[in-house]
A = this chain, B = another copy of it.
Amino acid sequence: MPRSPSKTRPITIKDVAQLAGVHASTVSRALNPATRSMVAQDLAASILRAAQKLGYQPDHLAASLRTGRSLLVGVLLPDIANPVFAPILSGITERLIEDGYSTIVADAGPGAPSATTLLDGLIAHRVDGLVLATATRDDALVGRCLERNVPVVLVNRAEAQARVSAAVSDDMRGMQLAVDHLVGLGHRRIGHIAGPPTLSTGLLRLRGFEAAIRDQDTPLESFSQSATAYSREAGAEAAGRLLAAAPQITAIVAANDLLALGAYDALRERGLRCPEDISVVGHNDMPLMDLVAPALTSVRIEHRAMGREAAELLVQRMRRADASTRMVMLTPRLVVRGSTAAPRPEQR
């Protein structure tokens, strides 16, 4: 079937070549700033004019086939619905677009195909690199990328063996800030709601909590329970276990804001008030944490900056295959709000 002449066929480089009276290869060189010097200046200018006139739009796809570079970067998220990933994603795309990359987002959230399937899908699109936010501590996905030879960095979570670069928050330091704050207020019996131990943040924050407890001058009692997931429900459930096992605690440090909000639910359910009966500290300082009741004291992580850093690491790795693998650690800071207070005198 002959192409209907009325339907506007997309303009190709050949159309431009014809109008400019040159060969397609010359057009290609003139259009690419990097190779433009290979073409006489005035000719290049007239080619640009021809392209402009026709409204030529380059086709990355075709170029990719030849160059091997797709200008696409895959981002694998554990769950878009989790509010912390929005700013991370934002930071990633913001940085990548500076180098001309677009981002393909794959969400491994509930109801989605397996992360491995999603990863293969991204690779099938020939992404030039990958940002993984899903990495559990030892992650088969990383290995898969490595053997396929596609550049990869981690964000928010690191892996046990540091095979690839990662941008993370200093979780040890974050927990130290939280514990210091509580101890400064007079708390001596502190509980921790840990994240899933399979996730690097879960483990590191637990370790950070324990280290922070040990580092205090005053002897403390500490307790911890792991949540099965980073969700409000899991937080409430773990908080229930924690309060049952150690009813004497006067403060709870949660590994995550959602867990902290779950702790709110558990406290309310048991008729306990925050901060009068129990202080609560979160982690991440998600948006709106200043508006919940009570406003949540939380360890603030600059997620947007973290996304940018991850993208930066990836760009370096994509530019040079032998770029050193690094771990960028962002320093968190504590934002004190209404959910923490000194324990009541009789609680001491």
Contacts and interface: CB of A to CB of B under 8 A. Distances in A.
Interface residues of A, number: 53
A55 to B, nearest CB: 9
Contact of A64 (B7, B61, B89): B61
Contacts of A57: 120, 123-124, 148
A64 to B, nearest CB: 5
Pick the most buried of A57, A71, A123, A288: most chain B CB atoms within 10 A of its CB: A288
B97 A112 contact: yes
A206 to B, nearest CB: 25
Contact of A102 (B7, B62, B125): B125
A98 to B, nearest CB: 10
A70 B61 contact: yes
Interface string A75-110: 000001101011101100110010000111111010
Contacts of A125: 60-61, 71-72, 102
Contact of A103 (B105, B148, B291, B292): B105
Contacts of A244: none
Contacts of A90: 80-81, 107, 109
A113 interface: yes
Nearest to A98: B113
Contacts of A261: 288, 291
A2 interface: no
21 contacts: A8-B149, A57-B120, A61-B65, A61-B126, A62-B65, A72-B104, A72-B125, A80-B87, A80-B90, A80-B93, A81-B287, A83-B287, A90-B107, A93-B106, A93-B107, A94-B109, A94-B111, A97-B112, A97-B113, A104-B105, A264-B291
Contacts of A121: 102
A195 B102 CA distance: 30
A147 B11 CA distance: 13
Interface of A: 7-8, 10, 57-62, 64-65, 70-72, 80-81, 83, 85-87, 89-90, 93-94, 97, 102-107, 109, 111-113, 120-126, 147-149, 261, 264, 287-288, 291-294
A111 B59 CA distance: 26
Contacts of A60: 124-126
Nearest to A10: B148
Top-4 shortest CB links A-B: A293-B293, A291-B292, A61-B126, A80-B90
Contact of A87 (B7, B59, B81, B93): B81
A124 B10 CA distance: 11
Contacts of A71: 125
A165 to B, nearest CB: 21
B83 A124 contact: no
A146 to B, nearest CB: 11
